[in-house]
Chain A
Amino acid sequence: MTRQLITDTQNTWCPGCGNFSIQHTLKNVLAGMEVEGKSLDDVVLVSGIGCHAKIVDYLNVNTFYSIHGRAIPVATGIKLANPDLTVICCSGDGDSYAEGLDHLIFAAKRNIDITVLIHNNRVYGLTTGQYTPTSPLGFKGKSTPSGTAEYPLNPIELMLASGATYVARGYTRKMDHLKKLVLEGIAHKGFAFIDMLQICATFFPVTDYYSSRVYELSDHNRTDFESACTKAREWDYNSDTKIALGTFFERSLPSFDEKMGQHRIDAAERERAIQEFLLTRI
Chain B
Amino acid sequence: MLELKFTKEHEWVRIMDELAIIGISDFAQEQLGDIVSIELPKTGGVFRQGQTMAIVDSVKASSDIYAPISGEIVEVNEGLIEKPEVINQSPYDLGWIAKIKPSKMEEFESLMTREEYDRYIGQIK
Bound pair: A and B?
A: no
Question: B-side interface residues toward A, CB under 8 Å?
Answer: none
Question: A-side interface residues toward B, CB under 8 Å?
Answer: none
